[in-house]
Structure 1
Amino acid sequence: MRLKTARGRSASSQRWLERQLNDPYVAAAKREGWRSRAAFKLIEIDDKYHILKPGQRIVDLGAAPGGWTQVAAQRVKAVEGRGQVIGIDYLPVDPIPGATILELDFLADDAPDKLKALLRDGGADVVLSDMAAPTTGHASTDHLRIMALAEAAAQFATEVLAPGGAFIAKVFQGGTERALLDMLKRDFAIVRHVKPKASRADSSELYVLATGFRGQS
């Protein structure tokens, strides 16, 4: 589908709108009640690797608008009171059944302690991070910014995960993701890159999946 160009709309905005209208994942998300197309990325990863299980404690970093939080709450049976899901974002997130939402920047000094205080027994079984800084249009700058977020998320994960826990985080291809992989390999039994089909083919977006947390040293 192509749109007639609206007066005052930039070419990039026009391309974004056309891509959204032609994206089957956007349509499926609306049809199935997910907050965003990103929900399908986590669904695909979990269907393949079986990370989320009933009764687990989940932390979702950068939760807005809530697609990953929705998936996590459904799969750990949080609505039934079996699992626990906590999402955090500096952007507002509409309430999600079974989830606790903390409206706070994850990079704030007090954010890790506030998350730990909410977690059952102070620990988590899975830490999710779909965080991404606003893009600048400069590829290397954008890469460094998202890698800094992924590294902060990984550090938090090593502080809260129970032995055997898992970590999933968004990264961009660009070279320095190797440093993050090396760091994770010290703390997890298996570390791999995954690119769900729901990630756009022309995007450098990947996810790092680390499983089998060895426990705090």
Structure 2
Amino acid sequence: MTAPWTVLIPVKRPALAKSRLAVAPTTRAALARAFALDTIDAALQCAQVQSVRVITADDEVTARASELGATVVVDSTEGDLNQCLRDAAAPLPPSPLVALVSDLPALRPHELGSALIFADHLLRVASRHSAGFLPDCTGNGTTLLAASANSGFDPRFGMLSAAAHRASGARPLRTGGVDTVRGDVDTLRDLRAALLLGVGPHTARVCRAAEGWQLLETAHST
């Protein structure tokens, strides 16, 4: 059992999220919210996780994340992802914490646990490094940033964030066996890949209710 982790999950207002996802605006917002809820749900079920803190300004995400068992922190940064993470981490007591993106609809609790075990090992044996990051499936982005305490927490999410995190001194984590932790969704191609892995119930429900149903059919027939 690794050290208990506090997971920070920032969630944009769904109407402003996933602009590259080529579906109708109402479906895009519904999918963004569903991705977040499936990510939150999986994180809460992970044995290595002590608590999940969701950072958002969206009322529906606030209500539904609270129902799932997460603590909600109000995002007052106007969508500044890195600043909202810093603000949420600052008042926490010194303990292992991880930032996790909110668009991982296929996330499996045991795979998140494996990633956190990798992180725990890295931070214990490589004492000169206070943070580790997990690249997304393209190798360019980041889906997870782990730190031994908030003093070493320096989120640099955004374009080419894997390079930005490496430049900050964070080390890449092992990527084997954690595909669902690396599978963030920005495009229809990403969504099809997530559907093939098997998405959570919130995302599956939205896909079946809208044009995403055709995506589900396509994914399973590929």
Q: TM-score range by the shorter chain?
A: 0.3 to 0.5
Larger Rg: 1
TM-score (norm 1): 0.34
**TM-score between the two structures when normalised by the length of structure 2:** 0.33
